[in-house]
Structure 1
Amino acid sequence: MPPHARGPVRPAALVLDALDTLFPLGPLEWRFREAGIPRVLMTRWCDHLLRDAFALSLLGGERTFEDVARGSLRDITGNQIAPGAEDAIIDGLARLEPRREAASALEAAHARGVRAAVLGHGDGEHVRLLLERSGLPLEPLAGGGGPAAWKPAREPYLAAARELGVPPERLGLVTAHGWDAAGGRRAGLVTGWSAHLEGRFPSVFPSPDVEGRDLAQTVERLLDLPEPA
């Protein structure tokens, strides 16, 4: 029977995506300006980073998240970025602040006895640093067991379910990225998409199990799903 053939059920644990879901990337803009890089190239950098991450999810390339982030910076600047400026932008990735409703969303999950963790890209080291500085009560996960595993391949989602000790159909994914929700759905997870980044769910992917205007509403709607029979 395919996943959720009888309808999704309330997850026993949650994994939340990190960048632009929990932690907005907007504050990095001033670091780009300080480096003399036009603001428009920040969006190009994000797209380039995701492009290469998606390729690595197919190729199984042994690269860390930092490798890909630095490589993308060099590519979009024609290898003209100064080493100090590159370091400043990468350092900024570990100093991002969480969205203002993140704490209340997590409190709601914990009040219902639902464990919550973060599933980022690649090796997950940048997520560990973000969580240490943010103080959010979340666990970093390895992202599939090593730098060769990248979302939206199935293995990172399935590895998260194994690490949290729940079957995939009882693991809820909270993300602001349509492609991430599609990857989680293909792996059999219960998917929750927050509209705060994209505004409208991408039409090329199957709809997520729940949608919300922000993290708090998305988590609330996952928690309001029916208990398994």
Structure 2
Amino acid sequence: MKLIAFDADDTLWVNEPNYVDVKQKLCELLSHHIDQETLSSRFYETQMRNLELFGYGAKSFILAMIETAIELTNGAITGAEIQQIIDTGRKLLDFPIEVLDGIPDVLKTLSKDFDLMVLTKGDLFDQESKIARSGLGQYFKHVEIVSEKNEQAYQRILQKYGVQPADFVMIGNSLKSDILPVVHIGGRAIHIPYAITWAHEHVADEQLVGKSFMALASARELLALLGKVNQGS
């Protein structure tokens, strides 16, 4: 193995629960305008519609909240309510980073023998801030923040660092973003599920048929697994 890459959000630290919490606050704020089920559905539609324009991350999330609130209230939402949405969403930009169990020990150990990379998608400033706040940056030789994690993105990164797919390992919680694209280009992938998965990252069971990758219950299992892989056993 020449390069081991880690996803960031919900692989290195807790992320999705913060977004769920902010979305719930939006539902509460607009409860006198619209029911929660309708709001959740329309909010997701807005997010998907805006992905190509605004990408992923907190800022895109906040814009989608405002746009959804305006649409569902037919413009009746007040300036004060919009300010509440902004203030609530702003918390996504500076929430305390909760590093997941075992991650510091795993990174400290692996970084002694391997080149490690953070490979995440989203807003550049947002992701850089989370990496800095996490205190984990010292363990990574490389950081790559991309707009989308697909086969083309992985191939581009491997070419940049002169690494063959067979010598690359990707570790992450998202089957859609971290696992399947890497498997498709001939790389190795390790799936460590997180308790909550954003709907956009869900993968149907049939998409996994015939796909070869490892699945672990926690990051702590990585040390034993990667040690065996590196020894060719």
Q: Any conservation in 2 of the 1:13–1:164 contact (CA below 8 Å)?
A: no
Structure 1 match to 2:174: 177
- Which of 4, 27, 38 aligns to 1:14? It is 4
CA displacement at 1:49 relative to structure 2: 8.1
Q: Any conservation in 2 of the 1:177–1:198 contact (CA below 8 Å)?
A: no
Q: Say which one has the larger Rg.
A: 2
Structure 1 match to 2:206: 204
Q: Any conservation in 2 of the 1:161–1:168 contact (CA below 8 Å)?
A: yes
- Which of 182, 191, 194 aligns to 2:192? It is 194
Q: Any conservation in 2 of the 1:49–1:69 contact (CA below 8 Å)?
A: no
Comparing 125-134 with 67-76, greater Cα deviation is found at 67-76
1:173-212 per-position Cα deviation (integer Å, ceiling 9, x unaligned): 1111111211221233210001333699852333442110
How many matched pairs?
A: 206
Structure 2 match to 1:214: 218
1:117-172 per-position Cα deviation (integer Å, ceiling 9, x unaligned): 222224533221101111013343132xxxxx412x21221233244442222121
Structure 1 match to 2:66: 74
State how far apart, in whole Å, the 2-side matches of 1:98 and 1:91 are: 17
Structure 2 match to 1:224: 228
Query: Runs of 5+ in structure 2 lacking a partner?
Result: 72-76
- TM-score after normalising by structure 1: 0.69
State how far apart, in whole Å, the 2-side matches of 1:173 and 1:227 are: 18
In the superposition, relative to structure 1, how do residues 89 and 121 fare at CA in structure 2: closer, same or farther (>3 Å)?
same
Percent identity at matched positions? 12
- TM-score after normalising by structure 2: 0.68
CA displacement at 1:45 relative to structure 2: 9.2
In the superposition, relative to structure 1, how do residues 106 and 157 fare at CA in structure 2: closer, same or farther (>3 Å)?
same
Query: Runs of 5+ in structure 1 lacking a partner?
Result: 1-10, 144-148
Q: Secondary structure at the match of 2:145?
A: coil
State how far apart, in whole Å, the 2-side matches of 1:94 and 1:45 are: 26
CA displacement at 1:14 relative to structure 2: 1.6
In the superposition, relative to structure 1, how do residues 133 and 227 fare at CA in structure 2: closer, same or farther (>3 Å)?
same
Question: Going by fraction, where is helix more abundant, 1 or 2?
Answer: 2
